[in-house]
Amino acid sequence: MNTTTPQPLVETALYVDTPIYTALRQIAPYFEYGIFDARNMPVFIKKRPVVTAQRVFTSLPKEINIRSLSSSRVPLKAGGVVYYPFNSQSNMNAVTHRQYRHVLTLHGESHKMASARPAARMYDYVCVAGPAAIDRYLDHKIFTAQEADQGRLIQVGDSFVQRYPWLKPETGPDAEDGVLFWCPTWEGYDGKRNNYSSVSKGIGFDVAARAARAIGTERIVVKPHPYMGMLRPLMWRYFISGIRRLETEGFDVSLVLNDTPTPLQYMLRVALPRTRRRDKDVNNPIPVRLGLTDISGMEAALLVAHIPTMTIALTPQNLPEYLRDIYDKKTLVADDDIEERVRSYRDAAVALDTRHRSCMFGYQDPSLQQMSGPERFRWLTEYAHSDPFWQGAARRDGH
């Protein structure tokens, strides 16, 4: 006899399917600044044995209303809206429930292939940061220009770019304390040129050391991606040996590990017992002289934070012409003259980053840019409810 009490129906919800429970920390900032409302926006996480085990020793912000879900059917009221911050396989089952609208938000903005997967077509609407993201979908022939023009791709600017209030650009009194902040991404699902991690084979550590010397700091703060090593555990060997090498070279290295899965945090405590840990302290943010990223969502995050940032690339990137000029000046490859390229970028950083932001961020409605997080969420939900693309398609088809 099944005595399970049905979950109450809600009007909006997040659906998450991930094997790594701490990945939910990637969406916590959206609740903190109000683009999602914790009171009315439960997070339904697909029940998996591996996730159930992780929940025992993993803490998440208490304000997030996390509920387990055995199936892919979200308990939403008819006409409700379910948001997807991860492009997970079981989403294919979730979107078959047509009594509510399905909106892909993702949780970052970058030129990684994960930001332009064909699976995006299965959602009713796709949130994008701006012009570069639309071009990415069009270039990969995932959506048509007509679909973009008629509102299936919704430009929401920096709404779903992660916030890092525990970082700040080095200015004024902090000028002698600025660090090099390096945030390598994970290894990705395939070998394509923009699915990579600069941790691989230790390449990024040499670039980080040379960039730190170029900006005149011995302080390097490293934040690894929470998925790093998930597919290739060898990545952690590269990471540990690379951190040791930086310390041997005289750098003051500290790690930000709040989002790292707990078992890996324990492993790093054993492997790197003397390496300092840094907490995400919003009351004492870390002043950053230069950020270093891979092709990843961290590029957009540091742009939003107005932190000067360069990108480590393993090979030259295939980018649209209007972005190529920007990346030509902001990209570091291992065999470059790193010191000269860093100095050259810093001389032009303000103008370059302003151009970069204008390419990355745009708004479906000009008023969105001035809205608070809660106001943006109400606008987006009303947009999905009004269903302009599909209602328009029905009219165009004569139904």
Using H for helix, E for strand and C for coil, what is the string for 315-384? CCCCCCHHHHHHHHHHEECCCCCHHHHHHHHHHHHHHHHHHHHHHHCCECCHHHHHCCHHHHHHHHHHHH
The Cβ-side half-sphere exposure at 394, using a 13 Å CA radius, reads 5
- For the chain, give the mean pLDDT: 89
For residues 124 and 236, state if they share a domain.
no
Q: Which residues does 328 contact at the CB level (< 8 Å), separation at least 6?
A: none
166-181 pLDDT tens trace: 999 998 766 778 999 9
Q: Are 156 and 239 part of one and the same domain?
A: no
The answer to whether residues 202 and 342 belong to one domain is yes
pLDDT score, position 1: 42
Q: Is residue 394 part of a domain?
A: no
Q: What is the pTM of this model?
A: 0.89
At 241, which CATH number? 3.40.50
CB atoms within 10 A of CB 321: 6
Tokens coding 133: 């993201």
pLDDT at 61: 74
Cα pseudo-dihedral 386, 358, 110, 243, rounded to 10: -140
Residues 313 and 383 in one domain: no
Q: Which amino acid is present at 374?
A: P
Q: What's the distance, CA 38 to chain centroid?
A: 20
What is the total count of domains within the chain? 2
Residue 141: half-sphere exposure toward Cβ, Cα within 13 Å: 0
- Residue 397: inside a domain, yes or no? no
The answer to whether residue 399 scores a pLDDT higher than 70 is no
Residue range 289-308: mean pLDDT, rounded: 96
Phi, psi of 104 (to 5 degrees): -85, 125
Residue 5: per-residue pLDDT: 60
For residues 201 and 107, membership in a common domain is answered with no
| pLDDT, tens only, 184-233 | 998 876 555 567 899 998 999 999 999 999 999 999 999 999 888 888 88
139 lies in the same domain as 66: yes
Host domain of residue 385: 10-161+365-389
Same domain, 282 and 202: yes
**Measuring CA to CA, how many Å separate 112 from each of 49, 257, 368?**
29, 23, 26
* Mean pLDDT within 252-273: 90
